[in-house]
Amino acid sequence: MYESMLEVSAKYSLVTGFAVIGATMWFSYWASGKFTNGRVHGSAIAIMLGLFMAYLGGVFSGGQKGVVDLPLLSGIGILGGTMLRDFAIVATGFGVNIEELKRAGSAGVMALVMGIVTSFVAGVGIAAAFGYTDAVSMTTIGAGAITYIVGPVTGAAIGASSEVMALSIAAGLVKSILVMIATPFVAPYIGLNNSRTAVIFGGLMGTSSGVAAGLAATDPKLVPYGCLTAAFYTALGCLLGPSLLYIVIRGIAG
Amino acid sequence: MIIYGVALLSVCTLTGITIGQVLGKLIGIPANVGGVGIAMILLILAGSYLQKRGYLNLKTEQGIEFWSAIYIPVVVAMAAKQNVLGALTGGPMAITAGVSAVVLSFALVPVLDRMGADKQQAPDDAPATGHSTNNNNNHAQTSTGQ
């Protein structure tokens, strides 16, 4: 029985993914109405449930890809993979009002630069507080606080140890997961309810998965605005990390 | 036909991501430079162009709207494949670094919002979510603002 299920779910992995995620969504929207009176979005609950399942997947399989490492659920990897994620994000752009985008443009660029510098400084400060005082380690961990891609890219470029690189990836993971969970709850306090703040938010946070999920759980209408700026964040981080930011830290730390 | 919409979306996505990839190569960084953002702009431009010419019928639009609607489930699947265990077992340093980056960035959202709003004032009073009737207004304000 289990073997047959395994065979089917391996062959029809994407279809299995639709079924499992559909059931998760249904349960989440039901729980949202039943227990929170709709105050916590169904999508927010679904994302948290997804993260929780990912945690269990990691515990049971010892892998790094959440539930995807469980043989029955490998199809979720396709459904939630980069290809379909980007495809769906681009599709959300179809409803975008181009005038609003133009108006928020300059704020978005400023948010990108400030977001990278802020996250980097936070990462560097914490690294120093925990005793990593050499320029290479501080820069790598700071870059990890930008996103978990910028961390290892920067670390590899400036010759960080693999231990420090792992730490920088972990810092980036914490950031992206926290953005996914916290955004819908923080949104009312920071005015995240219009296209302009969404553009700013995307530029400040920058983690594409965090922004994508955080905005989806807050208000799906805001998704394209935030994702548009966030699309430039990691690249800008990869550009600045091993160059300007490293030089500055090296200048300070000696 | 629905496939026309899906194909338009695909072409825009592929073109945008390719441009992002080429930009990354040109600058010399191992990352895609704004591919998704460029793709989105292409879709917006192509969509409004075709709409004006009357080439986009309901069925074609449905081909795009389906993927836009499937977005949240895709994001839930994406959440389910995150390395949550890795984040939680990354140690106190990694967790503190990640958390402080997020807290500071959250705090900056209203700050940046206000900074820009001073410069171009009025338009932010209206809730800005897709009212096409505001378009003429916005036009006037953006052109005076620049």
Domain range summary for chain A, segments of one domain joined by +: 2-80, 99-253
Tell me how far apart the alpha carbons of residues A165 and A186 are, in angstroms, rounded to a whole number.
30
Closest chain A C-alpha to B122 CA, distance in angstroms:
12
Tell me how far apart the alpha carbons of residues B102 and A178 are, in angstroms, rounded to a whole number.
7
The answer to whether residues B68 and A95 touch, using CB atoms and an 8 Å cutoff, is yes
Nearest alpha carbon to residue A216 among A17, A13, A28: A28
Provide the angle, in degrees to the nearest 10, between the axes of the packed helices A195-205 and A233-240: 30
pLDDT at A222 over 80: yes
Residue whose tokens read 């009176």: A37
pLDDT at B141 over 80: no
**Lowest-pLDDT choice from A17-31, A45-59, A154-168, A182-196:** A154-168
Residues of A in contact with B24 (CB under 8 A): 235
Percent of chain A with pLDDT over 90: 17
HSE (CB half, 13 Å, CA atoms) of A14? 6
**For A98, nearest residue in chain B (alpha carbons):** B44
Which among B4, B33, B81 is the top mutation candidate for probing chain A, defined by the most A β-carbons within 10 Å of its own β-carbon?
A: B81
**For B89, nearest residue in chain A (alpha carbons):** A170
HSE (CB half, 13 Å, CA atoms) of B112? 30
**For A229, nearest residue in chain B (alpha carbons):** B37
- Would you state the pLDDT for residue B59? 87
Locate the domains of chain B by residue range.
1-82, 85-124+131-139
Residues 158 to 217 of A: which have CB under 8 A from any B CB?
A: 166-180, 182, 186, 190-197, 200-201, 204-205, 208-209, 212-213, 216
Q: What is the mean pLDDT of chain B?
A: 78
Tokens of A97: 């009002």
CB pairs A-B closer than 8 Å: 363
User: Per the CB < 8 Å rule, is B76 touching A176?
Assistant: no
- Would you state the pLDDT for residue A149? 82
Question: Which one of A193, A195, A231 has the shortest CB-CB distance to B35?
Answer: A231
- Would you state the pLDDT for residue A19? 93
> For chain B, where are the alpha helices, taking DSSP H only?
2-27, 35-53, 58-69, 71-80, 84-88, 91-120, 135-145
- Would you state the pLDDT for residue B14? 96
**pLDDT tens, B82-109?**
888 887 787 888 889 889 999 999 988 8
- 3-state SS, residue A156: helix
User: Per the CB < 8 Å rule, is A25 touching B72?
Assistant: yes
Among positive and negative, which fits the CA dihedral A188, A189, A195, A199? Answer: negative
Exposure pattern of A20-55 as b/e (b: 16+ CB <10 Å)? bbeebbeebbeebeeeeeeebbbbbbbbbbbbebbb
Tokens of A5: 């299920």
Rounded to 10 degrees, the C-alpha dihedral A62/B87/B31/B73 comes to 80
Question: Which one of B12, B32, B116 has the shortest CB-CB distance to A106?
Answer: B116
Confidence of residue B135 (pLDDT cuts 50, 70, 90): very low
**pLDDT tens, B47-69?**
888 888 888 888 888 999 899 88
The answer to whether residues A111 and B112 touch, using CB atoms and an 8 Å cutoff, is yes
Residues of B in contact with A165 (CB under 8 A): none
Which among A94, A192, A195, A209 is the top mutation candidate for probing chain B, defined by the most B β-carbons within 10 Å of its own β-carbon?
A: A94
In Å, how far are A15, A209, B45, B89 from A214, measured between CA atoms?
Answer: 25, 8, 26, 22
Confidence of residue A116 (pLDDT cuts 50, 70, 90): very high
Interchain CB contact of A238 with B (< 8 Å): yes
Side chain identity at residue B103, one-letter code: V
Tell me how far apart the alpha carbons of residues B105 and B50 are, in angstroms, rounded to a whole number.
38
Confidence of residue B118 (pLDDT cuts 50, 70, 90): low
User: Per the CB < 8 Å rule, is A194 touching B73?
Assistant: no
- 3-state SS, residue A160: coil
Confidence of residue B116 (pLDDT cuts 50, 70, 90): low
Q: Angle A84-B14-A106 (CA atoms, 0-180°, nearest 5)?
A: 90
**For A87, nearest residue in chain B (alpha carbons):** B13
Tell me how far apart the alpha carbons of residues A156 and A221 are, in angstroms, rounded to a whole number.
38
Rg (CA), chain A: 20
The answer to whether residues A89 and A229 touch, using CB atoms and an 8 Å cutoff, is no
Confidence of residue B146 (pLDDT cuts 50, 70, 90): very low
**For B76, nearest residue in chain A (alpha carbons):** A47
Q: Count of CB atoms within 10 A of residue B132's CB?
A: 8
Percent of chain A with pLDDT over 70: 100
Interchain CB contact of A49 with B (< 8 Å): yes
pLDDT at B70 over 60: yes
Confidence of residue A194 (pLDDT cuts 50, 70, 90): confident
Which among B22, B84, B89, B108 is the top mutation candidate for probing chain A, defined by the most A β-carbons within 10 Å of its own β-carbon?
A: B84
Is the pLDDT higher at B127 or at A72? A72
The answer to whether residues A253 and A135 touch, using CB atoms and an 8 Å cutoff, is yes
Side chain identity at residue B6, one-letter code: V
Residues of B in contact with A26 (CB under 8 A): none
Confidence of residue A223 (pLDDT cuts 50, 70, 90): confident
